[in-house]
Amino acid sequence: MAKSPIFDTSSIIEHSERVESLYHSALFPSIVFFELIATSTDESTYKKYSRWHKALKRADRMLTPTENDWWETARMIRRMYLGKIAQETKLKTLRMDALIARLAVKNDGFVITVEVDDFELIKKAMPDLQIISASKFFGE
Amino acid sequence: MSTKKPKLNSNGSLPTAKDFPPPERLTPELEELRDATREAMQALREEIKKYGEKPDFRH
């Protein structure tokens, strides 16, 4: 089964030079842009993210959650909550990552992340999720 | 978009970066994506260098 690499924000921040070289194959969740834009300080940086965002959309490499993705992600978090897979305080911190995980499963991709432990937790309630650490993916 | 997507590696593990070679020919769309990605990643590095690690706004 064909798989596409999907970067989360942690992997983009820590491996930006290497992420750069995979522009042709990677898919980018819109959640990443929320996290990058919300924390960008300079106007010039914002404009560059905006150009990148447009280019990704034009190339059909942007993944955006639908209403159903939110629904399914909520169901997954509910399973974690009811199954006591993680504490409430931890579940609150997993919302964005859970959406990225949902998009990865739905689009036949795998998540590349620095925060492997968080995604491994999500995988307990989303068994089809595939994860690889950024360092392993980049062969470090 | 017609970029090659590898299956699982022969050893059954997930593909790694080296399994995704760049396309031999770039469409104008991919050229723009290459340049825009490069520019954005450079801006990200410069901003971290200038202001330090990004705050975590995810939660």
- pLDDT cut 70: percent of chain B above it: 73
CB-neighbour burial class of residue B16 (10 A; exposed 0-12, middle 13-18, buried 19+): middle
For position A1, what pLDDT does the model report?
44
Grade residue B59 by pLDDT with cuts at 50, 70 and 90.
low
| Predicted structure pTM score | 0.90
* Contact between A23 and B39 using a beta-carbon 8 Å cutoff: no
Answer whether A93 touches B (CB < 8 Å): yes
For position B9, what pLDDT does the model report?
56
Name the average pLDDT for chain B.
83
Q: Where are the beta strands (DSSP E) in chain A?
A: 4-7, 28-29, 62-63, 109-113, 131-133
- How far does the CA of residue B8 sit from the closest CA of chain A (Å)? 7
Between A6 and B56, the more confident residue is A6
List the single residue in A16, A61, A139 with the smallest CB-CB distance to B17: A139
Grade residue B53 by pLDDT with cuts at 50, 70 and 90.
confident
List the single residue in A2, A41, A51 with the smallest CB-CB distance to B47: A41
Residue B10 has pLDDT above 70, yes or no: no
Grade residue B4 by pLDDT with cuts at 50, 70 and 90.
low
> Which tokens sit at A25?
């194959």
For position A11, what pLDDT does the model report?
96
- How far does the CA of residue A50 sit from the closest CA of chain B (Å)? 9
For position A98, what pLDDT does the model report?
96
List the one residue out of A120, A104, A93, A114 whose CA is nearest residue A11.
A114
- The parts of chain A modelled with pLDDT lower than 70 are 1-2
* Contact between B22 and A24 using a beta-carbon 8 Å cutoff: yes
Residue B38 has pLDDT above 60, yes or no: yes
Residue B8 has pLDDT above 90, yes or no: no
> Which tokens sit at A22?
């995979």
